[in-house]
Structure 1
Amino acid sequence: MEGTSTKGGVLSLLSLLEVQARSRRHVPPQRSRVKELRAEAEALRVRREQLKTEIQTHQSLQRLRTSLDRQSTHDEEEEEEEEEEEEMDEDSENSQLLKLMARHTRVKDLLLAHHLIGGYDIVKTRHGKGVCVSVATAYEGVCLETYNLEMDLKPTLRICRHNVPPFVPLSSLAEQGDMQTDIRAFLETLSQHLNAFAGRKQQLKLVKEQHKTIEVMESNALCSILVLMFTVPKTKTAILCTLNYSDHTACLPTRVQFECDVKEILESSEWRKNCSLLMETPLHKALMTMKKMGNIV
């Protein structure tokens, strides 16, 4: 009897311990889940506050951007701009920082637009009804003339004013480049023509400055035809050189022709090399090489 009672007590104790163990296994997961939910709720509250702050900052930046855009286009609403800026000063302790951020984003947008348009300077005119595009020219790292085109945006893109030289076929370039659908292609073609013209004009200027012994007999406004007079040192023979630039998008001639009373000179290998040199090298540099070789005075 005593053994049976002891055995029953042990079994009862084991059963009780098993029940307690099961209860302990179930309670911690429930508490852990509650903690997870509370942590998620707290994270959502923090994210909500962050979004509120971002929205307020974005709205403030938009107001400042609008104010800056109005200033850049000289809009006649200065009083309204001042009221907006004063309101910003009162509502936000970080108004100066916001103004800097607004200017920064505006500059980034302008740089992006500058890149998309191909690197050309573009400015809104007539309160956004038109734009002015500037095409700069340069040769051998030297900035030269800048040409401007003012365009109407509506009802269609149309050039209304410009200072492009009349011998540049602006209208045909606009038609060929389909300015309505691809303004960048049109501007690239126009830039090629203007830079080539500026380069040819600059070469002629350098020839006159650096080569006083060479006489410029003839040149046209487009600098597409140039006639020079050379003198051969040994025989003092005069040679007439005509350079034809039929490719108006290039700075190098497409054809070089010599005229001289002494045909033997032109048939020599030296002058055949001079012909190739003039077609492959900028004019002022080619003449310098010809002088160093003793072919011209």
Structure 2
Amino acid sequence: MEGASAKGVLSHLSLLEVQARSRKARPQQRSRVKELKAETEALMIQRDQLKAEIQTLKSLQKLRMGMDKQGTQEEEEEMDEDSENSQLLQLMARHTQLNDLLHAHHLIGGYNIIKTRQGKGVCVSVATAYEGVYLDTYNLEIDLKPVLRIIRHNIPPFIPLNSLAEQSNMQENIRPFLDTLSQHLNAFAGRKQQLKLIKEQHKSIEVMESNALCSILVLMFTVPRKKTAVLCTLDYTDHTRSLPTRVHFESEDKNLPDSPEWKKNCSLLMETPVHKALITMKKMGNIV
């Protein structure tokens, strides 16, 4: 009897253990069910977002095709003009179109190129700018066959166009030629703009001499304390830069050009655009 009683106790304890495990498993199962429900809801939301994105991309593609064919009016009439979504889609389509144009513009080096004479030639535009201000634009018409040949242009005559074409080996690759030409034109535009700014911003400084290329600039300064005149010559021998390669001072005061103060002025004019260097020289009291 004792053996049977012991077995009964053991069976009862085993049953209690199974029930306890079952009770522990139920909250875990309920927690797992909640997790699965949350994951399902998240996946459904993601699915709906993807569907919306696909529909948006289809609408954008349709609008872009219409814009590229210059048939935007017909495409826009099919959509609700008062719809905010419609307006947003049109803006997004225009944005992607401009991004594509910008990318293409970058690939050709930032030069505007259009076909001429039914594809027998091209017209290349080279824009110039200085300190974020767009200035003049220059154009070249180039024959494509049998060899690349510049037939018309409005490049200033003092820019050695033919020499640049030969040195850059335009026949092999036109990009280096255009890059070199752009360097020369932008440097010239920068020097020319600096001369203009001197005349506008520094009325007390007299421009004594300058040439068409703006590669030589002679200015007359006045030293405030002594009222001494100083002749300043800026020589731009590197025509691909808008900063001078040499600065020379002349004065009745023979010691002035070699003084530490004016040696600093010389360095300033070599390293800083002249109209800005003059502002610094005035602030330091070196010139009127």
Which TM-score band applies after superposition, normalised by the shorter structure?
Answer: 0.5 to 0.7
Counterpart residue number, 2:282: 291
Query: 2 CA distance for matches of 1:116 and 1:183?
Result: 13
Counterpart residue number, 1:138: 129
Counterpart residue number, 2:54: none
1:219-262: CA deviations, max 9, x gaps?
A: 00000000000010011111100000000000100000000111
2:268 matches 1:277: yes
Distance 1:268 1:163, change over 3 A: same
Q: How does 1:63-74 map to 2 (within 5 A)?
A: none
1:212 aligns with one of 203, 214, 235: 203
1:106 Cα shift? Answer: 8.8
State the TM-score, normalizing by the size of structure 1.
0.64
Query: 1 CA distance for matches of 2:99 and 2:265?
Result: 51
Query: 1 CA distance for matches of 2:242 and 2:129?
Result: 12
2:143 matches 1:152: yes
Counterpart residue number, 2:218: 227
1:275 Cα shift? Answer: 0.4
Counterpart residue number, 2:232: 241
1:268 Cα shift? Answer: 1.4
1:267 Cα shift? Answer: 2.1
1:119 Cα shift? Answer: 1.1
Amino acid at match of 1:206: L
Counterpart residue number, 1:268: 259
Counterpart residue number, 2:6: none
State the TM-score, normalizing by the size of structure 2.
0.66
What percent identity do the matched residue pairs reach? Answer: 76
Distance 1:288 1:108, change over 3 A: closer
Q: How many residues align?
A: 211
1:114 Cα shift? Answer: 2.4
Provide the secondary structure at the position in 1 that maps to 2:255: helix
Query: 1 CA distance for matches of 2:261 and 2:254?
Result: 13
Provide the secondary structure at the position in 2 that maps to 1:284: helix
Query: 2 CA distance for matches of 1:275 and 1:264?
Result: 14
Cα RMSD between the aligned structures?
A: 3.0
2:165 matches 1:174: yes
Distance 1:108 1:291, change over 3 A: closer
Query: 2 CA distance for matches of 1:174 and 1:106?
Result: 34
Query: 2 CA distance for matches of 1:104 and 1:233?
Result: 56
Query: 1 CA distance for matches of 2:102 and 2:133?
Result: 23
Counterpart residue number, 1:165: 156
Provide the secondary structure at the position in 1 that maps to 2:256: helix
1:129-168: CA deviations, max 9, x gaps?
A: 1111110000000000000111111111111111100000
Query: 2 CA distance for matches of 1:164 and 1:224?
Result: 17
1:198 aligns with one of 180, 189, 194: 189
Amino acid at match of 1:132: C
Please, which runs of 5 or more residues in structure 2 have no aligned partner? 1-60, 79-89
**Residues 125 and 131 in structure 1, CA contact (< 8 A), matched pair in contact too:** yes
Query: 1 CA distance for matches of 2:95 and 2:214?
Result: 44
Counterpart residue number, 1:118: 109
1:79-112: CA deviations, max 9, x gaps?
A: xxxxxx9xxx9xxx9xxxxxx9xx9999787555
Amino acid at match of 1:151: I
1:115 Cα shift? Answer: 2.5
Segments of 4+ moved more than 4 angstroms: 103-113
Query: 2 CA distance for matches of 1:128 and 1:235?
Result: 67
Q: Which has the larger radius of gyration?
A: 1
Counterpart residue number, 1:75: none
Please, which runs of 5 or more residues in structure 1 have no aligned partner? 1-56, 72-84, 94-99
